[in-house]
Structure 1
């Protein structure tokens, strides 16, 4: 029987490794967002700084594991077997939830996850105990005050972090404006001194105070002399920065951002490490206490020993730190989570990841009305001064000139992000308030981006929807963590060993599936990006427009041709699965072409002045390509719906006519592709005549179908579908004809 619990400990540590991987993928956004977004240094340098911070934080973390042992439940009332079931349910739930969120690039809180998983699993076992012993109550087993404190921390941190971030950024921008280089010469050292002093204090309070080498006297001295530390640190840093700037041309903002990145990475590893390895370590300690007790019954042996404080072995923390560093360098999901945060805070417009929502539209509309009302009250001179400080015209010109190397936002905002997040987290820690680093860093970034006007009227509704989606995801995390852990704990308690192995297999399969989703998502992004002209640095020439048009059009037409031909075969065979796949392919093609069309604005902005006329033909080509994609969509989707609703397919006579039509359309599309590929438009008149002849054929096919209807040889659904196919086929070839003509005009213009 003891071997079963030993296996459970091994499983807990195996899950801990997986949890470390998915946890770093989720929390990397906390300390990478500002440095990567502002491009304070090369990606390699940023990652090295973050990696060193993680290693230092991990190795100096010692007494942060109490939450797993006694923070949520009272271990003295649970038996050893109960504790192991709780811990296993928590780790299985944690790995699954974090991996799922990371797959879709949504940042969430590992702190909230672990707390509500412990709460859910503990309540599941506590309910069983209360039902067996009615003299006890649920409140005896559960530390409800801790859970309520975490919920309060969520609400408070979201509101405070966003508000403080927005206000501090507003004041900072009034001081520096977007054109801050000249002002840095005079007040850069003072600003850097304030920023790094806040970060230094943050390192002492939030990071190093948990280090094993710091005695209780040292920690008490730090707390009692906080003002002295802050004052001396400010003077020292200000003087040092001024000296290094004068002698070595030190970039104060870059240095500040990198120091802040190190601090947050250190705090993450030192404090959030409990979220990943706290439960397995508690499980190992529980097993140690159980073995030390001798030959005792695991179902009755109470775990009172867990209530004590136990220091964690340094070698385990070092191993955890190494795993976290490796994950940081290799995780694609970490980059996806960082991308979500950057997309919502970037200064420029672009492809918006999130759509619009009623709530977001209402918030934006109310904000615009409130802003207009305030502007009527503010005196004109003050309003003009504020407008000048927030004028980003020159900054935008510099950003456009940088092209692909342009940062998502400038380093003034990056330093504010880091400083405000550091101060808020340090203050909350000093007052022993529960607080999530994910919530604070994300909401500060959103507040500063709002102040900077990154949420302009072109993008505000999408950014607000994105932020609301992330915040909703945080609360969904709490609900999901509690519910899933509750269910899994009950399953383990009822099914024992068999349930444990079954759940491990299921968890592995789900993680494998989410990995496939992540790979497919990456592949789709890669496919789309090959058509994106706005990724090109600097001004665009007409040649580049022409080459991109040719690639986009021929690739898309080949896909449309392939789908059109095969769809009717699948329909004839009543193959619902294949039709569903065709429908997915059509939707994906539509999204890619839509993205190309949405990026027309960015493309035209980058055209050289003497090439501006080429944009007219480029816009026409993309418009006709989009209409062609719409036509194939309105063919495939009704065919799939027809089969999905179990309606009868066409008659042999109808299929015979359709097969002949398919072959002729196939020839026309191939001719169009060859004309564009070879830039040979001498045959265009013949091609246009062939299109007109095919339209006549389609007219005859309609007449035949109308005769079938009169003779009642075809039902209503059947007839409407058939006529729709003929109509959309006609639309498709007309748009293809116009597309080829527009491509010809673009080629002739360049010649």
Structure 2
């Protein structure tokens, strides 16, 4: 049995490293979003500041397993075998759950996750013990401490509302003080605001960041607690004085200091306190194994009440954990994705919206508009005009979403200051609080107060917030359920279950990495390159359009063939894959359309006429995707409803048409990509011939209908496919004419990313 539990301990150590990686990917948003969103400094500088905070926080962490110490379950009621089952189930669940959220760029709470995983796994093991002992289920309360769980849940809901409300109020009054004209107001108001903000964040650092630090003596901690008011007063006055000197004598923007200091302090507090969420359980498992080896008792007989005591961790382990967290912070692509979600929802500018509106978002926005209209009745026009003047944005703010920060330093400072205040206050009262929830909701409140959510974007931003909060609510239920199921499997499955679950975990994480990389590659390389370019030339517009259109046409040529083959063999899987390909294309088109306004502003032209080619090309592609989508829906409906299969003669006609269409579309794709000017007239002739062929097929089929040679369902599907194919040919002909009309204006140049295009086409084949 020692060998089995040694394997379990090894698994826990491996899972601890993996959990550190996925945990940082999720929680990086807590301390990076304000710095990244405001672009307070270069990315590397921000990461250096955050990394320093993480390393100091990790090295000074007490290493106490907070969740176990608070008593999510009562360890004295469980044996060593039970505890190891619970710990392993918790760690596997935690990694899979956090990695899933990271893959889709959704921030969640590591504290809530680990708490409910412990609760779920402990509950299942407790039930097994009660049943095996023949006891009453009423004894479940002796195994679990549900009071903490209820307290944390209440704290979650309360903190979400309070964080959003206080963030909104604080940002509203701060913006009244600074307005958006920071060039004039920062020098005047910045030193006092900066001094108060720095002092506030320092208070957070003292209360939250260092409360469990080992390098601070007990006497020092007591002195800080006894003289907090005097200490904070001194810090406030000193901070204001320093900010005044820096502003007036060294021309330093003190708001940058606030944001960087806030980033450091939040990163330090994260590593110092939330580190236990990732390594607390594995370290407790390691200590339990050491106690088991020294006890000479059977695993099922050794009582683990000792886990109720505080668990101190070797400083070397804490330092190593800090290094792993820093490496994850620097190199994790998923950390960037999660951070981008919050920045996208709180950005000041318009642009492509990630989330689709839902009925809840529409209802909230509708209520907000009615409340705004009603509240204006109680505010005089003079006061309203003065407030509007303070919130008026300069033209440069909205000039280009790609070059400007998502929000300014004022909002970034308020984000950090309010998050620090709330977290420190809750910590001083020993109330459970999720740093993720607080940081996110403060950012949403400040963005609403800053009027970042206008009539054009509000429903999308609110939908995003609803989706994130919905994910939080699901987290607890999913974490508890999955951990419970895994505990059941491990309890009865033994070594085989442990090995199988570890292999499954590795496979799922690798798959999520593949899914994430695939999502990141959805944008074309040219479009990504143009996103960060200050100005776009006429040649850039044509090159990007050529590449995107050529690859899209190539994809559609194979989608049509897959739909027809799927119809013939009645293969729903093949049809669904083809439909998903079209849906992905439609999503990309919507993103392009949403960002076209800013894309057009970058084109080097006084009148922007060159953008006409780009928007016309997008229009053609939208029509084409619509035709393929309609075709896919009708084919899917026909097969799903078990209608009669298509007659052989009609099926052969459709397959021949699909092949001819595919050949034509591939030729057009090569024409647009490689500029084969001599083929333009030939392809136009082929298109005309194919249109005539479709018309003949329609006439032939109508005669079949009159002679009662085809069922109604088959006839409607057959004619629908012909009509959609005809529409696609017309749109593709329009694309040919479009590029023919601009050919004379194009300078000689090599095809864009031809190697990448060929690889994409090969993968499709």
Q: Which TM-score tier does this pair reach, normalised by the shorter chain? A: over 0.9
Counterparts of 1:128-277 in structure 2 under 5 Å? Answer: 128-131=128-131, 132-134=133-135, 137-277=139-279
TM-score w.r.t. length of structure 1? 0.93
Shift in Å, 1:680: 7.8
Establish whether residue 718 from structure 1 lines up as the match of residue 719 from structure 2. no
Preserved CA contact (<8 Å) 1:85 1:493: yes
1:286 corresponds, among 265, 285, 288, to 288
SS of the aligned residue for 2:546 comes to helix
Preserved CA contact (<8 Å) 2:166 2:418: yes
Measure the CA separation in 1 of the matches of 2:534 and 2:300.
70
Which residue matches 1:387? 388
Quick check: 67-76 or 131-140, which moved more?
131-140
Deviations 1:185-239 (A, max 9, x none): 1221211111111111111111112111222221111111111111111111222
Preserved CA contact (<8 Å) 2:550 2:672: yes
Measure the CA separation in 2 of the matches of 1:624 and 1:228.
69
Which residue matches 1:622? 618
Measure the CA separation in 2 of the matches of 1:442 and 1:82.
37
Measure the CA separation in 1 of the matches of 2:608 and 2:307.
73
Measure the CA separation in 2 of the matches of 1:673 and 1:486.
53
Quick check: 259-268 or 734-743, which moved more?
734-743
Preserved CA contact (<8 Å) 2:397 2:404: no
Quick check: 316-325 or 60-69, which moved more?
60-69
Counterparts of 1:292-691 in structure 2 under 5 Å? Answer: 292-293=294-295, 295-396=296-397, 400=400, 404-524=402-522, 526-527=523-524, 530-531=526-527, 535=531, 537-565=533-561, 567-569=563-565, 571-572=567-568, 576-608=572-604, 610-643=606-639, 645=641, 647=643, 649-662=645-658, 664-666=660-662, 668-669=664-665, 672-673=668-669, 676=672, 691=687
Measure the CA separation in 1 of the matches of 2:334 and 2:540.
32
Measure the CA separation in 2 of the matches of 1:652 and 1:57.
72
Shift in Å, 1:390: 0.4
Measure the CA separation in 2 of the matches of 1:304 and 1:576.
56
Question: Structure 1 pair 118/42, CA: closer, same or farther in 2 (3 Å)?
Answer: same
Which residue matches 2:37? 37
Shift in Å, 1:681: 7.4
Shift in Å, 1:640: 4.5
Which residue matches 2:26? 26
Measure the CA separation in 2 of the matches of 1:96 and 1:682.
55
Deviations 1:366-399 (A, max 9, x none): 10111111122211121111001100133425x5
Measure the CA separation in 2 of the matches of 1:677 and 1:507.
43
Measure the CA separation in 2 of the matches of 1:677 and 1:436.
51
Question: Structure 1 pair 722/7, CA: closer, same or farther in 2 (3 Å)?
Answer: same
Preserved CA contact (<8 Å) 2:59 2:315: yes
Question: Structure 1 pair 494/32, CA: closer, same or farther in 2 (3 Å)?
Answer: same
SS of the aligned residue for 2:279 comes to helix
Shift in Å, 1:679: 6.2
Counterparts of 1:1-20 in structure 2 under 5 Å? Answer: 1-20=1-20
SS of the aligned residue for 2:353 comes to coil
Shift in Å, 1:662: 4.1
Shift in Å, 1:184: 1.5
Shift in Å, 1:652: 4.1
Question: Structure 1 pair 78/606, CA: closer, same or farther in 2 (3 Å)?
Answer: same
Shift in Å, 1:431: 0.9
Question: Structure 1 pair 350/482, CA: closer, same or farther in 2 (3 Å)?
Answer: same
Measure the CA separation in 2 of the matches of 1:93 and 1:414.
34
Preserved CA contact (<8 Å) 2:403 2:532: no
Which residue matches 2:74? 74
Which residue matches 1:126? 126
Which residue matches 2:763? none
Question: Structure 1 pair 69/507, CA: closer, same or farther in 2 (3 Å)?
Answer: farther
Measure the CA separation in 2 of the matches of 1:411 and 1:223.
32
Deviations 1:474-504 (A, max 9, x none): 1111111111112222222222333222322
Which residue matches 1:115? 115
Shift in Å, 1:152: 1.2
Would you say how many aligned residue pairs link Structure 1 and Structure 2? 745
Q: CA RMSD in A?
A: 2.5
Measure the CA separation in 1 of the matches of 2:505 and 2:280.
20
Shift in Å, 1:69: 4.7
SS of the aligned residue for 2:452 comes to coil
Measure the CA separation in 2 of the matches of 1:594 and 1:623.
11
Which residue matches 1:90? 90
Which residue matches 1:62? 62
Measure the CA separation in 2 of the matches of 1:677 and 1:150.
58
Shift in Å, 1:452: 0.8
Measure the CA separation in 2 of the matches of 1:283 and 1:554.
56
Measure the CA separation in 2 of the matches of 1:670 and 1:144.
63
Measure the CA separation in 1 of the matches of 2:675 and 2:312.
74
Establish whether residue 708 from structure 1 lines up as the match of residue 704 from structure 2. yes
Specify every segment of 5 or more residues in structure 2 that has no aligned partner in the other structure, as ranges: 748-765
Measure the CA separation in 2 of the matches of 1:498 and 1:438.
36
Which residue matches 1:741? 737
Shift in Å, 1:676: 4.3
Shift in Å, 1:244: 2.9
Preserved CA contact (<8 Å) 2:108 2:471: yes
TM-score w.r.t. length of structure 2? 0.92
